[in-house]
Amino acid sequence: MLSTARAISLIKCFPPSPIFRNNTKMDPKPIMVSGSFSRSSSSSPPKEDFRVEGGAVASISLQEWQGWGTSSEVPAMVVEIVEDLKNLEKDMDEQMSFGGLGGKLQGSLKVQEDKKHRATYQALGDSEKKLQFFSARQIACRLLGSRGYLCQKCWLAQEDCMCSKIIPSSLWRGMRFWLYMHPKDFLRQNNTGKLLWQIFGVQAATLCIYGIPEHEEIMWNAFELAGKSRVWCLYPDKSASAKSVQDAMFNGSSTSLEVAQTDGDSPLNFILIDGTWNNSAAMFRRLKERAKLAWGAEDIPCISLETLTVSPMHKLRPQPSWDRTCTAGAAVGLLSELHLHPEFSSIGLDKHAEAVEDGLEVLLDALTSRRLRMGRSITRRERHNRDIC
């Protein structure tokens, strides 16, 4: 996130055309076969058996879906795509396997599925339907590819699970975070947004996946109930510059006078865009389009932060410049700046910020230990050094 003159530091967005590109480098995952993973080193056994009689992959249950960090129903299109994969598996008499960057489908079944999904995508003339199909397919494949491999709570490989080291905290009931996440960030091991609902719970820090209509409806229903004056996005809207916390919430705003007395029924809502920097514009544009439908104006109130420091994750996952940070780091910045104002000073937001900072340290330690164990470098190539002072 940036101050008014700088870019907001919470985003790690995606390329403008997200359909068949993935510029994010990730550690390759071992290949999963029949609900387990084929790998040379020892690993934790799968927590659940996701195969049913005859070797077919099981459907996505509500319990499994919500175990990954959401309180919504299973998205209808995700269910449909999983069923299509199951039918393809049956028709080809071949079990699905996943591996590589992003846990992609592998083998000859992948070739046939790729042809089928491209044909389906091209047949969808409506851009909204294309986005929904793209997002649902990403989610479906990541769900199936992560079974028995990733811990559902922390999204790390089971042998690297950090859940026992995360200390839960109760977020002040007068505010709520919304993690507006790109589907390619869903189940990424180095994602930091997941820390917010691990620490504060899914009702206080709610996951909303870009292009998943069930999630976006839940989020916008909450925004319409709260009203535009109680919704902010941490993002620099260049056409109507983002304001500082002071200017957005405490300069002649009636909302600021009610903040400390809020009863929690209509909390302050803060959107954190959770994706790569390159695709932030598309995600933000979608928010603006929906804001116009909800409130009759394309602009959505934006906040930029003034007191950001170097991202704790910069060493393992460099940002374009040191004044940009990870999603959880942005939440820390927001909580810290709000705490500086008298209206919030007695609420304990500084303690909430410390809890997230502690979670970031736990995640960084877990990812660093994994890379060392696998013989990989714990530093990444710096990008855009001209932006780093």
User: Tens place of pLDDT for every residue, the chain, 389 residues?
Assistant: 333 333 333 333 333 333 333 333 333 333 333 333 333 233 333 444 455 445 556 789 999 999 999 999 999 999 999 999 988 888 888 888 877 655 678 888 888 888 988 999 999 989 999 999 999 999 999 999 998 899 999 999 999 999 999 999 999 999 999 999 999 999 999 999 999 999 999 999 999 999 999 999 999 999 999 999 899 999 866 665 678 887 877 765 545 445 545 555 689 999 999 988 788 889 999 999 999 999 987 678 888 888 766 566 656 555 554 456 789 999 999 999 999 988 888 899 999 999 999 999 999 999 999 988 888 777 655 544 433 33
> Which residue's structure tokens are 């846990």?
103
- Work out the widest C-alpha separation in the chain, in whole angstroms: 67
**Alpha-carbon distance 36 to 51, whole Å?**
10
Q: Could you state, in order of their start, the residue ranges of all structural domains in the chain?
A: 62-145, 158-254+262-374
Using the 8-state DSSP alphabet, how is residue 9 labeled? T
User: Which tokens sit at 82?
Assistant: 């999983």
Within 10 angstroms of residue 135's Cβ, the number of other Cβ atoms is: 25
Angstrom distances, CA of residue 172 to CA of 8, 31, 131, 254: 24, 42, 35, 20
Say whether 313 sits in a helix, a strand or coil: coil
**Alpha-carbon distance 361 to 379, whole Å?**
16
Burial-class residue 293 by CB neighbours within 10 Å (0-12, 13-18, 19+).
exposed
Q: Show Cβ contacts of residue 202 under 8 Å, excluding neighbours closer than 6 positions.
A: 69, 70, 71
**Alpha-carbon distance 68 to 46, whole Å?**
15
